Amino acid sequence: MRMPSVRERAAAWWDAEGKEGKEGLSDEDVKRTAKGMGLAYDEIDGVLRVNAKKGLESINNGVPPSLHWKKQAST
């Protein structure tokens, strides 16, 4: 991302993706459909949240974060 034009296009793309994602996640029909499919994402103990936590725990246990990240997190 050394080229400013590429960086600007990437930033604009991620901004648009973030906006679309927020709109989708806040949509009541999407929430209701996800819940009906057993994939509710707004519940503390929902399937997606539990599986995401398990995945992150697995990654952290198998590949610990570098000292660089640990140092930044503690400051």
Please compute the mean of the pLDDT values over residues 54-67 and round it to a whole number: 84
pLDDT score for 8: 94
- Structure confidence by residue, pLDDT tens digits, 2-41: 899 999 999 999 999 999 999 998 999 999 998 898 888 8
pLDDT score for 49: 86
- Structure confidence by residue, pLDDT tens digits, 63-75: 877 787 766 655 5
pLDDT score for 75: 53
The DSSP string of 8-62 is: HHHHHHHHHHHHHHHHHHH-HHHHHHHHHTT--SSSTT-HHHHHHHHHHHHHHHH
pTM: 0.53
